Amino acid sequence: MGHRCCNKQKVKRGLWSPEEDEKLVNYITTHGHGSWSSVPKFAGLKRCGKSCRLRWINYLRPELKRGSFSAEEEQIIIDVHRILGNRWAQIAKHLPGRTDNEVKNFWNSCIKKKLMAQGLDPKTHNLIPSNQRAAHKAACNVSQSSQQPFSIINLDSKMKGYSMEINPPILTLPSPYPSSSSTQPPLLQTTTSLPLPTSSYQNTSVIWNENAQNPQNSSIFPCLSSIENTLISSSSSTSVNPTGFGLLNENSFWRTNNNIGEPFDAAKIFEVMQSQDQENQPNKICDTQMIIDNTKGVHDNMDASFDTTSYDLEFVDSTLLPGSMCRDLSSMDDLAWNF
DNA sequence: AAGCTGATCAACCGCGCACTG
DNA sequence: TCAGTGCGCGGTTGATCAGCT
């Protein structure tokens, strides 16, 4: 059974020969593909139009980048996948020269296993509950030592000790208050116990959670089991928080490279994002940080401001933060989840 | 050297959407 | 409004390769 577009004629299948490739390239470079269904006829190929299209898009296009994925590309895939899921074509748009097929294959053959080896659910990017993690680890027979660690959180020393929240997975770190302070939340005991990388926090978007500094308000994460419970409940949902923007409110501040501490303005954010998009920068807003004014709690608005069922995918896609979202699960197990 | 196994990747398949008459 | 057609996308398959025994 052939494709609907080429049922009438007998078409060749399987691997393309160099001669076929040459015919297709010659035809498309001189005439363009126009209607794909008519390409094989005019190009002198016994293939269906669909097959020609696929061959051109995935293999013959001159702008294609061949070779293995760079670490940066890998991180972009992870970041974008976390938000968009298996929308390979959308993900590939963030990787110039890469095809959806290539990205999909790379994900399935490589990234997926790495995430699983690190105790992450490749679908949700959340931690797999501890009782299921062992089974996952056994299932994916990948050597931890050979893994290039991902970063779910990159912090530098300036940020150590602050309470932050990432959603999802949600993670709260201790407050900036000295350990002697009575306001020290009963969360993690010391920040230095966290084996977090100390570089490139500029690529990490974080949400500061003032409530976490306040034991009275701190309904989240009083202990690890709560964290894990949160993660578990989060991972049981099929929805993901696309950007974390939902945590922002009017008391939030927005900072770009040239602009520090302006009041949060969604329209302005969108404007900046669009302008950056127009400049076709691969790392659209990598350098952008959301700085939350921690004079007011933002947690109260979390639930109301983020509707997992109604966010605009196009908007999300246009405002992605490649390399700027949750990072580093390399040490997630350690982080752990060792309490 | 031969056989086995897992990884990789090119290509196919089927579905859904958009467009057109 | 509806059927037909083409295209794009995501899931899956199968051929090939590399590493191991």
Q: What CATH number is associated with residue A125?
A: 1.10.10.60
The pLDDT tens digits for A130-175 are 666 655 554 444 333 333 333 333 333 223 323 333 333 333 333 3
Which residues have CB atoms below 7 Å from chain C, the nucleic strand? A 4-5, 14-15, 34-37, 49-50, 53-54, 86-90, 100-101, 104-105, 108
A138 CA, C18 C1': Å apart: 23
Q: Is A17 domain-assigned?
A: yes
pLDDT over 80 (residue A262): no
Lowest mean pLDDT across A20-24, A92-96, A118-122: A118-122
Domain of A86?
A: 71-146
Residues A167 and A138 in one domain: no
Higher pLDDT, residue A127 or A105: A105
Residues A287 and A238 in one domain: yes
A81 CA, B13 C1': Å apart: 24
Q: Is A66 domain-assigned?
A: no
Q: Is A25 domain-assigned?
A: yes
Last residue of a domain, one of A60, A79, A98: A60
Longest dimension (CA), chain A: 80
A117 CA, B5 C1': Å apart: 20
pLDDT of residue A85: 86
User: Where would I find the H helices in A140-285?
Assistant: 224-235, 266-278
Residues A238 and A257 in one domain: yes
**A3, closest nucleotide (Cα–C1'):** B13
d(CA A71, CA A34): 36
Nucleotides of B under 7 A from a protein CB: 7-14
Q: Is A65 domain-assigned?
A: no
Q: Is A314 domain-assigned?
A: yes
Number of domains into which chain A is organized: 3
* Average pLDDT of the residues in A61-66: 84
Lowest mean pLDDT across A23-37, A154-168, A309-323: A154-168
Contacts for A50 with CB less than 8 Å, ≥ 6 apart: A3, A5, A6, A36
Higher pLDDT, residue A65 or A318: A65
Beta-ladder partners of A13 = none
* Side chain identity, residue A273: M
pLDDT of residue A115: 85
d(CA A97, CA A34): 21
Residues A330 and A185 in one domain: yes
Which tokens is A227 given?
């964290």
The pLDDT tens digits for A202-257 are 333 333 333 333 333 333 333 223 323 332 333 333 333 333 332 222 223 233 23
Last residue of a domain, one of A146, A179, A204: A146
How far, in Å, are A83, A84, A168, A206 from residue A314 at the CA level?
11, 10, 20, 22
The pLDDT tens digits for A187-206 are 222 222 222 332 222 333 33
Residues A245 and A312 in one domain: yes
Residues A162 and A136 in one domain: no
d(CA A184, CA A230): 21
Backbone angles phi, psi at A144, to 5 degrees: -60, -40
Residues A35 and A125 in one domain: no
Residues A85 and A221 in one domain: no
Q: Is A249 domain-assigned?
A: yes
A5 CA, C17 C1': Å apart: 34
pLDDT of residue A84: 85
Residues A219 and A286 in one domain: yes
Lowest mean pLDDT across A84-88, A99-103, A145-149, A293-297: A293-297
What share of chain A has pLDDT > 90, as a percent? 1
pLDDT of residue A135: 53
Residues A114 and A156 in one domain: no
Q: Is A309 domain-assigned?
A: yes
Residues A169 and A311 in one domain: yes
Spatial contact of A199 and A156, defined as CB atoms under 8 Å apart: yes
Residues A136 and A256 in one domain: no
Which residues have CB atoms below 7 Å from chain B, the nucleic strand? A 1-3, 12-16, 47, 50-51, 54-55, 58-59, 68, 101-102, 104-106, 108-110, 113, 141-142
pLDDT over 50 (residue A265): no
Which tokens is A260 given?
């520090």
**A86, closest nucleotide (Cα–C1'):** C10
- The backbone region for A52, taken as left when phi is positive above 0, alpha when psi lies in -120 to 50, beta otherwise, is alpha
Residue nearest to nucleotide B7 (CA to C1'): A109
